[in-house]
């Protein structure tokens, strides 16, 4: 294979990163719909992480390479090849899911996605430059700066097109922006854990374990004995699958980051996310969904950020 053409592994990494976005938009709709049905975003987020953790734990028990990889993470911590804060991806992910469950019912999947795009793209630029991901420091280039600027502009356009009566939704959009910042750090940390464990599933299990612990503590602190008051399994069955979808796309992201970097993983995920989220808002709108020209324009500008940011050479 010539040096000028991308390797098969690189092509698979690009496809995996794109799939992250497709599944992320679907999970946003699932967790947002569940939070709306239960009137409780924290309970919905905890259920999502908890079901994902159960499925992953079964995989760790049954599949030997995954079990060995999980033990390898503990060994890397003991030998200081991994630092404790590099396991914080689960805490970032838990915060993201709470924000997702809270914001999507208010503004819809597409508007939430535009906010996440801006935060994730801009912070991925910093994360790559600081070398927090497994590939070390990646210099800031002109195309990366332009991509980050376009992504932030996409949020301004989407927000600027809202009428005065819709302006309370600006605060949820800012929350989505912050959630996007956390996603970049989550992917970088999970990528490091993947390198040490030798497989993405072990890294994902660590992510879900810490996230579930954090959400369970928060749920107990805020609800106490009244937890079961609004919780009912009598909802559309597909809304209960957010945790399973989440473990798949987190594993795909953890697998992609060591190969193509945090920013390129983020940008390709955005490409899948933007398109599918806009379609979901049209086909399955939530109560607060507003699909207008400004939102569609914001999506288009964010998509342009993907194209500009992805114009680098494939890693050798």
Burial 58-70 (b: 16+ CB within 10 A, else e): ebbeeeeebbebb
Please indicate, yes or no, if residue 50 is contained in any of the structural domains.
yes
How many C-beta atoms surround the C-beta of residue 190 within 10 A?
A: 31
Please indicate, yes or no, if residue 196 is contained in any of the structural domains.
yes
Please indicate, yes or no, if residue 201 is contained in any of the structural domains.
yes
Would you place residue 313 in the very low, low, confident or very high pLDDT band (cuts 50, 70, 90)? very low
Please indicate, yes or no, if residue 7 is contained in any of the structural domains.
no
- Full residue range of the structural domain in which residue 162 is found: 23-220+238-309
Lowest mean pLDDT among 77-86, 94-103, 123-132, 205-214: 123-132
Please, are residues 106 and 169 in contact by the beta-carbon 8 Å criterion?
yes
| CB-based contacts of 156, cutoff 8 Å, min separation 6 | none
Please indicate, yes or no, if residue 2 is contained in any of the structural domains.
no
Q: Read off the pLDDT of residues 43-62 as tens digits, 9 standing for 90 and up.
A: 888 998 999 999 999 999 99
pLDDT of residue 111: 75
Q: Read off the pLDDT of residues 212-266 as tens digits, 9 standing for 90 and up.
A: 999 999 888 877 655 555 677 778 888 899 889 988 888 888 788 777 777 778 7
How many structural domains does the chain have?
1
Long-range contacts of 42-45 (CB under 8 A, 24+ apart): 42/98, 42/101, 42/215, 42/218, 42/219, 42/222, 42/223, 43/219, 43/223, 43/227, 43/230, 43/231, 44/101, 44/242, 45/94, 45/97, 45/98, 45/100, 45/101, 45/215
Give the chain's radius of gyration (CA, Å): 19
Please, are residues 116 and 302 in contact by the beta-carbon 8 Å criterion?
no
Please indicate, yes or no, if residue 316 is contained in any of the structural domains.
no
pLDDT of residue 311: 66
Please indicate, yes or no, if residue 68 is contained in any of the structural domains.
yes
Q: Read off the pLDDT of residues 112-169 as tens digits, 9 standing for 90 and up.
A: 877 887 788 778 878 877 777 666 666 777 877 887 788 777 767 766 655 544 544 6
pLDDT of residue 164: 47
Q: Which of 52, 176, 39 is nearest to 109 (CA)?
A: 176
pTM of structure = 0.71
Please indicate, yes or no, if residue 233 is contained in any of the structural domains.
no
């Amino acid at each position: 294979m010539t040096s000028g053409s991308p390797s098969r592994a690189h092509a698979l990494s690009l496809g995996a990163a794109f799939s992250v976005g497709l599944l992320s938009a679907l999970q946003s709709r699932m967790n947002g719909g569940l939070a709306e049905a239960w009137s409780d975003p924290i309970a919905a987020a905890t259920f999502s992480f908890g079901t994902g953790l159960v499925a992953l734990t079964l995989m760790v028990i049954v599949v030997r390479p995954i079990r060995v990889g999980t033990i390898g993470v503990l060994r890397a911590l003991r030998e200081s090849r991994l630092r404790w804060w590099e396991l914080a991806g689960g805490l970032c992910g838990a915060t993201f899911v709470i924000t997702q469950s809270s914001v999507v019912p208010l503004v819809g999947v597409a508007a939430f996605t535009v906010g996440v795009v801006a935060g994730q793209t801009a912070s991925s630029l910093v994360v790559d430059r600081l070398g927090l991901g497994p590939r070390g420091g990646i210099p800031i280039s002109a195309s990366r700066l332009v991509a980050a600027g376009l992504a932030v502009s996409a949020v301004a356009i989407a927000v600027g097109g809202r009428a005065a009566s819709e302006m309370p939704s600006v605060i949820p959009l800012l929350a989505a922006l912050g959630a996007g910042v956390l996603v970049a750090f989550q992917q970088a940390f999970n990528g490091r854990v993947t390198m040490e464990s030798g497989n993405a599933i072990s890294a994902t299990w660590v992510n879900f374990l810490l996230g579930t612990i954090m959400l369970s503590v928060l749920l107990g602190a805020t609800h106490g004995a009244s937890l079961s008051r609004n919780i009912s399994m009598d909802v559309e069955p597909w809304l209960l699958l957010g945790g399973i979808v989440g473990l798949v796309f987190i594993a795909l992201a953890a697998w992609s980051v060591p190969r193509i970097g945090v920013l390129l993983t983020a940008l390709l995920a955005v490409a899948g996310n933007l398109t599918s989220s806009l379609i979901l808002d049209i086909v399955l709108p939530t109560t607060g969904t507003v699909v207008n020209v400004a939102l569609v324009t914001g999506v288009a500008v964010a998509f342009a950020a993907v194209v500009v940011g992805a114009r680098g050479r494939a890693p050798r």
